[in-house]
Amino acid sequence: MWPYVIQSPIRIGTYGVMMATGFLTAYYLLRSEFQRRHIGTDSDADWIIFIGMIAGVIGAKLAYLLTEAHEFSLKAFFSGAGLTWHGGLILAALSIFGYILAKKMPFWVALDAIAPELATGYGFGRIGCQLAGDGDYGLHCAAHLPWPLCMSYPHGVVPTMDLVYATPMYETLGSFVLFGVLWALRKRIKHPGVLFGIYLVFAGLMRFAVEFIRQTENRPYRFWGLRDAQIVALSETIVGLALWAYMAYRNVPRDLEYGVIPLPEQHQKNKTPQKHHKKKR
């Protein structure tokens, strides 16, 4: 493992570096998508990434303190440990939704533009977990399974000599595959909102499944023997399926087809009736 890029004169963790890489990649891709779809501005893309980053970290920390930590204190809030995935997801999503609505951007078109970046950003974050060895490990696994399906983390931030499922690697691979699928589909889907629904379905299923082979880390069980992360992931999948079905069968305004907004001159041209000239005899 490689928990820190450098430790002197300042300590820079690989998890932070990979998070920064994920946000910078998302920033570049989102700017490109906004330009292609003719929505928002480069400044809007900047703000969405910034809001997602800040709200995601705050939400992840608050969810950890409220549901898993032994105490809720400012010291614990500003410590480097303790982030809960679903808290970051919920607060970041609500904050970004609010920004999109406040800026009066086409809501579902904007969410479709964001969907691929959510997948790739999560993938980079999980690379950071793998490099840092921060304790997001799977259950004990059979010794005969090949590396990297099954491995130990002797030099991690949370070291272990036991062979465990390398769940960060599973989620990294799944996230980048999902990104590739969404990126390939983004120009082929006529109905805005469907792409975001597809993201919700498969991102939720991936997280729900991997929780069954992850260590509990003292996280409490809630309903039906499921932990908080599984309940949120299952809800994410159900919402995604409903959104996918609803958006796929509703009528799409002509100026929203394929999620590309016509430029003003194109829009005017489309609205101008074509004159038909009679042939002279």
**Confidence at residue 100, expressed as pLDDT on a 0 to 100 scale:** 97
Claim: this prediction has a pTM higher than 0.75: yes
The residue length of the chain stands at: 281
Q: State which H helix or E strand residue 4 sits in.
A: strand 4-6
Domain count, the chain: 1
- The torsion of the CA quartet 118, 120, 122, 124, rounded to 10 degrees, works out to -150
Which range, of 82-86, 122-126, 155-159, averages the lowest pLDDT? 82-86
Distance CA 17, CA 130 (A): 13
Q: Residue 81 gets which letter from DSSP?
A: -
Cα angle 214-216-220, degrees, rounded to a multiple of 5: 140
Residue 279 lies in a domain: no
Residue 86 lies in a domain: yes
- Whole-angstrom distance between the N-terminal and C-terminal Cα of the chain? 84
CB 166 within 8 A of CB 138: yes
Question: For residue 267, is pLDDT > 70?
Answer: no
Residue 273 lies in a domain: no
At residue 262, the 3 state secondary structure works out as coil
Residue 277 lies in a domain: no
Question: For residue 66, is pLDDT > 90?
Answer: no
At residue 186, the 3 state secondary structure works out as coil
pLDDT digits (tens, 9 = 90+) for 155-167: 998 999 999 999 9
Question: For residue 281, is pLDDT > 50?
Answer: no
Residue span of the structural domain in which 81 resides: 4-262
Residue 278 lies in a domain: no
By C-alpha distance, which of 49, 122, 111 is closest to 240? 111
Residue 109 lies in a domain: yes
pLDDT band at 38 (very low <50, low <70, confident <90, very high): very high
Q: Average pLDDT of 58-84?
A: 76
Residue 73 lies in a domain: yes
pLDDT digits (tens, 9 = 90+) for 182-235: 999 999 999 999 999 999 999 999 999 999 999 987 777 887 889 889 999 999
Residue 269 lies in a domain: no
